[in-house]
Amino acid sequence: MNLAIDIGNTAVKWATFEGGSLMEHGIGMPQGMTAHDRVLLCASGEVPETLATLPRLSADTPLPIRLDYKTPQTLGPDRVAAACGAWALHPGEDCLVIDAGTCITVDFVDCEGVYHGGAILPGLEMNLRSLHTFTAKLPLISLEGVTKAPVLGRSTEESILAGTLGATMLALAGYVALYRQKCPSLHVLLTGGDAGRLTAAGAAGWEVRPHLTLAGLNAVMEWGKN
- Tell the CATH superfamily of the 2-124+163-224 domain: ATPase, nucleotide binding domain (3.30.420.40)
pLDDT of residue 8: 84
Sign of the four-CA dihedral 86, 87, 91, 95: positive
Q: What is the pLDDT of residues 54-78, one digit of tens each?
A: 899 987 899 999 999 999 999 999 9
pTM score? 0.92
* Active-site option among 6, 78, 94, 194: 78
Q: Quick one: what percent of the chain has pLDDT higher than 70? A: 97
Q: What is the pLDDT of residues 113-146, one digit of tens each?
A: 999 999 999 999 999 999 999 999 999 998 887 7
For the question of residue 99 being annotated catalytic, the response is no
Q: What is the pLDDT of residues 20-46, one digit of tens each?
A: 899 999 998 887 776 788 999 999 888
First to last CA, the chain: 16
pLDDT of residue 59: 79
Per domain, the residue ranges of the chain are 2-124+163-224
pLDDT of residue 201: 66
d(CA 91, CA 64): 10
Average pLDDT of span 81-89: 97
217 vs 20, more confident: 217
